[in-house]
Amino acid sequence: MEDMNYQLSLLNSMNQRLLDNDKMFRMICGTSNNTFMYYDYATDDFEILGNSDQFFHFPMLKGSDLGRFVDSFLAEDRKKLADTLYPETRGKKHSGCECRMEGGKWVGIEVTVSYDDEGHPSEKIIRLHDSTREREQTENLKYMAYYDTLTGLYNRNYFVRLLSDWVRKAQDEHAGIEVLCLKIDDFKNINEGLGMIAGDELLQNLGLHLREFQSEDCLVSHFHSNVYFVAFYRQSNDCGKRFFKNLAKHLKQPVPITGRENVLITVSGGQSRYPEAARNSIELINCAEIVLEQQKKDNIGGLYYFEAPVLDDFLQSVQLENELKLAIEENSFELYYQPQYDAESKKLRGVEALIRWKNQEGYYISPSRFIPLAERDGLIGPIGKWVLEEALRSYSHWEKNFHYPMVLSVNISAMQFRKSDFIPTLFELIETYDIDPAFLELEITESVLIDDFDNVLEQMRKIRESGIKISLDDFGTGYSSLSYLKSLPIDTLKIDKSFIDTVIDDSSTRIITESIISMVKKLGYETVAEGVENDQQFNYLKSIDCDNIQGFLLGKPMPAAQIEELLKIQAS
């Protein structure tokens, strides 16, 4: 009897433990985002654990009720769901899918089937979980991965990926692809003038219009800032040309900006073509952007087409830029000096310092090529400082050894002149090399005067007050205005070579040249004619009272050592 009681007590204890475990498992399942269904093939019974109300609005009592469950999903997902719920029909143990219910909820379904020793299905576990939030997060991540959040167009990475697919397709089909790089003109000033929010709205409005062209054969992307790319998969030419023409027509109407007046914008474009211009997506994109930058540099509006010479020019420019940076680091420049002579006495008036650069291959690169590049890339500062210091160092040596009173002319770029530290640096170098300011002449071009005229004028006055001369270079070739000459604190005016070249044969040039010399002499300025190459030019300039002559006739640019030989002759 005692043994019986012990067995009963043990059995009750085990039953209680099972009940407690069942309660615990049900609580765990009830607080999770999962619902579990257990199906017994032998009895056709279902056991459900978890929060089933989120998936079932009817009782699940037997296997046939799964059909009602399938009917609660969208019609296009029902076949996929039915295949997932019955993996045993295909002899499989596991299956899974994600489907959407009629109410819009996404449900993840995982099924596991157990088989008996004879290979017949015996039990099935079905796990359901609400994957709506996960799906939304995935869609958001996918959107962020593929689309530009500002405009809703394809982003750069996805555009490159799709364009790469097109290139492979075009290779097989012997088709063509056109790629356009588009930029809103003067966007920086628009953005700064209206503000970033208005600028973003402008980008969105243009993106909204461009999105209308998106199709199976047209890709539209917003790369960054004011840059868009459009690609056409074509069987014929001129898709891009027609598109750009329609875009330009559309932009004749001002773009509306919230709270502001409508803005009228223009767009410039560069176009490349596969297979003529490039063989892969990156090259196509680069070629289109290169040709657009070339267009901007040359101030050409509208749509510009890529050609091989454009790429050659760009690659040469990049190579030259890299070599120039290295030359600055290694001080690979030289200074040559071109003499200037008094027209009446032919006595040496002074020398103009001219920079020379010999590249690593031993070839001289013309200043007309590398100086504009240095100004564009912000490299003119260190180059200009080196020229000024090297010229003053050489002049100091000549003055101490030859005691010949001549003028040293040094060209100063507009960018260099406008820097806040230019004057302090200039005065410091003059003191370091013990130079008499009266024998230093700074040559500036008219481009210095274009921006911030009042500030530039103040800079010039400070320089003149120190005793340094100022020469206005290339007069008559740029933004010449006779009205501002009277207000400029200058000492010398240089007549550009372009006038001297035709002064003998062209009567109009002679009239202009004579008028300039007569006028500036009355204003008290000294005159220098540059580019004088023959006796006819020299005699004519002397006859109209030009003060000084510079050119190959009397002296080519020469290294410092030859200037010393010249000074020995002049000083004797």
Residue 20 confidence (pLDDT) above 60:
no
More confident residue, 421 or 238: 421
Q: What residue ranges define each of the domains in the chain, with the CATH number in brackets?
A: 12-135 (3.30.450.20), 147-306 (3.30.70.270), 338-353+380-571 (3.20.20.450)
Nearest to residue 441, comparing CAs of 428, 457, 430? 430
- The string of DSSP codes covering 39-102 is EETTTTEEEEEE-GGGT-SS---SGGGHHHHHHTB-GGGHHHHHHHH-GGGGT-SEEEEEEEBT
- Range in 189-193, 219-223, 487-491, 495-499 the model is least confident about: 189-193
pLDDT (0 to 100) of residue 299: 63
Nearest to residue 238, comparing CAs of 273, 209, 214, 283? 273
Which whole number is the average pLDDT over 433-450?
89
**pLDDT per residue as tens digits for the range 341-371:** 999 999 999 999 999 998 888 888 888 888 8
- Range in 47-61, 94-108, 327-341 the model is least confident about: 47-61
> In the structure, what pLDDT confidence band is assigned to residue 311 with cuts at 50, 70 and 90?
low
pLDDT (0 to 100) of residue 32: 61
- CA pair distance 551, 419, nearest whole angstrom: 31
pLDDT (0 to 100) of residue 540: 95
pLDDT (0 to 100) of residue 138: 66
**pLDDT per residue as tens digits for the range 455-467:** 888 899 999 999 9
Which whole number is the average pLDDT over 431-435?
95
Nearest to residue 541, comparing CAs of 572, 506, 495, 508? 495
More confident residue, 410 or 173: 410
Residue 237 confidence (pLDDT) above 80:
no
pLDDT (0 to 100) of residue 480: 52
User: For a pLDDT cut of 70, what percent of the chain falls above it?
Assistant: 87
- pTM exceeding 0.75: no
**pLDDT per residue as tens digits for the range 138-189:** 666 666 778 888 999 999 999 999 999 999 999 998 899 999 999 999 888 8
Q: What is the DSSP letter of 215?
A: B
Max CA distance (Å), the chain: 148
pLDDT averaged over every residue in the chain: 86
- Range in 233-242, 252-261, 322-331 the model is least confident about: 233-242
Ranked by mean pLDDT, the top range of 269-283, 419-433, 472-486 is 419-433
**pLDDT per residue as tens digits for the range 260-305:** 778 889 999 999 989 888 889 998 999 899 888 877 666 666 888 8
**pLDDT per residue as tens digits for the range 515-565:** 889 988 888 999 999 999 999 999 999 999 999 999 999 999 999 999 999
User: For a pLDDT cut of 90, what percent of the chain falls above it?
Assistant: 46
How big is the CA angle at 43 (ends 40 and 44), to the nearest 5 degrees? 65
pLDDT (0 to 100) of residue 6: 56
Q: Is 508 left (phi over 0), alpha (psi -120 to 50) or beta?
A: alpha
- The string of DSSP codes covering 493-533 is EEEPHHHHHHTTT-HHHHHHHHHHHHHHHHTT-EEEEE---
**pLDDT per residue as tens digits for the range 56-110:** 777 766 767 778 888 889 999 999 988 999 999 888 999 999 999 888 888 999 9
